Structure 1
Amino acid sequence: MSDSPDILCIGSVLWDVVGRTGAAMRPGNDMPGRIVRLPGGVALNIAMTLKRFGLAPALLSAVGTDPEGEELIVACDDMGLFTEYLLRDARLPTDSYLAIEDRGGLVAALCDAHSLEEAGDRILAPLFDGRLGSEDAPYRGAVALDGNLTAALLTDLARHPAFRDADLRIAPASPGKATRLAPLLDHPGATLYVNLEEAGLILDRRFDTAHGAAQALVEAGATRALVTDGSRPAALGDQAGTMSETPPRVPQKRVTGAGDTFMAAHIAAELRGETGAPALRAALAAAARYVSGEDAT
């Protein structure tokens, strides 16, 4: 394991509980299926994928000292992730995420990230106290940030001196939290990773294509924006223009975590020197392998 992290992953670190059935479901249905519990949360999903690409991610989040939290820390340590920067607070239970998936994809989900939200800016202490950076010597590396942080905290981070030089990669965590990212559009080092619905929510507009959404996000102030749209073409927009790529066609076996895998794969591709269309294609290929079940969870 590296002595220092290559990238910081800030946001939700929790347990995913996912129920999957091969049948189609409607509200009120009770179906046979499989239920699994896995380490998850947007920040942790990104970190796990980055680790598979050979990077050394550090986690900044809140994890309880309850049995669930202790088990989660052991799982993260076993994967070779940096956990020493995590906030451990005995008053806060470990967060969790619950999802139901059928043969068509996600049916419904709930994210209980109340401990992360209550912890607030305490999870960022290593960036302010000198362990990873400070206001006078801000962290200059890559940061993967998710929208499970509160709207107020994300607004503060958009202009905080400790983040002014960071290569900031941002995901909304869910459509319900997409509008929290609006203040970060003006950050000079920010790259947004959103799906078509989330792009529309951020800009309060409806888009028919990822290409149009990525272009609009850049016009609204984003330095860069990557927009996905399921099996339809994804797009990358920046000041030089907007490009689109079509994802590989694969059988769909799971969807929870696919967007996080896409984001992590794109970051990894760029950190190894790929840019533009090749990096976008690499991210789409990694997400397709994940959705098909080819990659290990």
Structure 2
Amino acid sequence: MTKTLPHSVDILCIGSVLWDMIGRCPSHMSQGADVPGRITRLPGGVAMNIAMTLARFGLRPILLTAVGQDAEGRDLISACSGLGLNTDHVYVSQDLPTDRYMAIEGANGLIAAIADAHSLEAAGDKILRPLSDGQLGSETAPYDGPVALDGNLTLQLLEQIAQSPLFAKADLRVAPASPGKAERLMPLLRNNRATLYVNLEEASLLCHQNFDDAPTAARTLVEKGAARVLVTNGGETAAEARVGQLLTACPPKVLVTRVTGAGDTFMAAHIAAETQGADSQAALEKALQTAAIYVSGETPL
């Protein structure tokens, strides 16, 4: 039987939880630039960013991920717990290091980034054990709540999840980790339980064609089998589509001071809004507003 979840826990967040090393400069940057700025280390990763935003909305996420049994891993678990995130089911590896992400941002946006999520990839389906051993669910009594799933998992594991009886009743909310990993989501494109959250570039990669706007991209993804999809396009019109329905909304105009984590913030805010009873249009608008506040550098809520 599925173990009854604590009342305060509302969603599983599966994927990357790591340390973000972000260098930010307030001026325009080009390739080879050597400029003054600030370098920060913060808890990050797609699953982590989503979980942090969900927690700020009053939800209590459970993290399913992998960290190393090293100083960085212990610090990360401590930081997650301090943010109100449930780490009881995190897979702690004896021999894999804690993953890291490094990015450089200027006033003109993201300059470059490298995601080192090799330990998460190496851990594979070990991170899913709580969904099969009765802690959070089993094949005969699968977890039936919302799941935020990120594309830092391997293609093999995402294919497994798309077909697994462990997720047969889950409300899957799926985001690519980056445009470079967008095509890993192909196994979930035709999953009738999945909602995909992508930006315009990621939509283009999934469809193998270029799009000029989010509504066209969203409609095309549905035509290709997606049950439901949300497509963002920076400061331009965003769209949500499913069969027979297309919704659009424009994000507020703000001065962009950071971009890393913006898509994760959008996804989490949308999930939180729907969890709290908002209709589709209101949830889309709330998510865009929250993401705009985030990229402006102000308080996320």
Q: TM-score range by the shorter chain?
A: over 0.9
Structure 1 residue runs without a partner (length 5+): none
Q: Please give the TM-score of this superposition, normalised by the length of structure 1.
A: 0.98
* Displacement after TM superposition at 1:187 (Å): 1.3
**Partner of residue 238 from structure 2, selected from 225, 234, 238:** 234
Deviations 1:155-189 (A, max 9, x none): 11111111111000000010000000011012111
**Partner of residue 222 from structure 2, selected from 210, 218, 225:** 218
Match of 2:3 in 1: none
**Partner of residue 125 from structure 2, selected from 108, 115, 121:** 121
* Displacement after TM superposition at 1:3 (Å): 5.0
* Displacement after TM superposition at 1:28 (Å): 1.4
* Displacement after TM superposition at 1:296 (Å): 5.5
Match of 1:165 in 2: 169
**Partner of residue 257 from structure 1, selected from 254, 261, 285:** 261
- Alpha-carbon contact 2:200-2:233 (below 8 Å) kept: yes
- Alpha-carbon contact 1:10-1:59 (below 8 Å) kept: yes
Question: SS where residue 139 of structure 1 aligns?
Answer: coil
Deviations 1:233-274 (A, max 9, x none): 000001231111000001111110000000000000000111
Asked if 1:58 corresponds to 2:62, the answer is yes
Q: What is the rounded CA distance, in whole Å, between the counterparts of 1:238 and 1:156 in structure 2?
A: 24
Q: What is the rounded CA distance, in whole Å, between the counterparts of 1:162 and 1:238 in structure 2?
A: 25
- Alpha-carbon contact 1:158-1:186 (below 8 Å) kept: no
Question: SS where residue 260 of structure 2 aligns?
Answer: coil
Q: What is the rounded CA distance, in whole Å, between the counterparts of 2:267 and 2:112 in structure 1?
A: 22
Amino acid corresponding to residue 146 of structure 1 in structure 2: D
Q: What is the rounded CA distance, in whole Å, between the counterparts of 2:114 and 2:258 in structure 1?
A: 17
Deviations 1:115-134 (A, max 9, x none): 00000000000111111111
Amino acid corresponding to residue 163 of structure 1 in structure 2: F
Question: SS where residue 97 of structure 1 aligns?
Answer: strand
Question: SS where residue 95 of structure 2 aligns?
Answer: coil
Match of 1:96 in 2: 100
- Alpha-carbon contact 1:42-1:146 (below 8 Å) kept: yes
* Displacement after TM superposition at 1:216 (Å): 0.7
* Displacement after TM superposition at 1:135 (Å): 0.8
Match of 1:199 in 2: 203
Amino acid corresponding to residue 273 of structure 2 in structure 1: A
Match of 1:25 in 2: 29
Q: What is the rounded CA distance, in whole Å, between the counterparts of 2:213 and 2:168 in structure 1?
A: 32
Q: What is the rounded CA distance, in whole Å, between the counterparts of 2:27 and 2:255 in structure 1?
A: 15
Match of 1:138 in 2: 142
Match of 1:76 in 2: 80
Asked if 1:12 corresponds to 2:16, the answer is yes
Going from structure 1 to structure 2, the CA distance change for 1:296 and 1:227 (only over 3 Å counts) comes to closer
Instruction: Write out aligned runs for 1:40-55 (5 A).
Output: 40-55=44-59
Q: What is the rounded CA distance, in whole Å, between the counterparts of 1:132 and 1:192 in structure 2?
A: 24
Q: How many residues align?
A: 297
* Displacement after TM superposition at 1:4 (Å): 5.4
* Displacement after TM superposition at 1:284 (Å): 0.3
Deviations 1:50-71 (A, max 9, x none): 0000001000000111000000
- Alpha-carbon contact 2:120-2:153 (below 8 Å) kept: yes
- Alpha-carbon contact 2:293-2:300 (below 8 Å) kept: no
Question: SS where residue 73 of structure 1 aligns?
Answer: helix
Question: SS where residue 58 of structure 2 aligns?
Answer: coil
Deviations 1:270-297 (A, max 9, x none): 0011121100000000001101111269
Q: What is the rounded CA distance, in whole Å, between the counterparts of 1:186 and 1:4 in structure 2?
A: 32
Q: Please give the TM-score of this superposition, normalised by the length of structure 2.
A: 0.97
Question: SS where residue 250 of structure 1 aligns?
Answer: coil
Question: SS where residue 33 of structure 2 aligns?
Answer: coil
- Alpha-carbon RMSD: 1.3
Identical aligned residues as a percent: 60
Question: SS where residue 278 of structure 1 aligns?
Answer: helix
Match of 2:285 in 1: 281
* Displacement after TM superposition at 1:5 (Å): 2.1
Q: What is the rounded CA distance, in whole Å, between the counterparts of 2:206 and 2:300 in structure 1?
A: 32
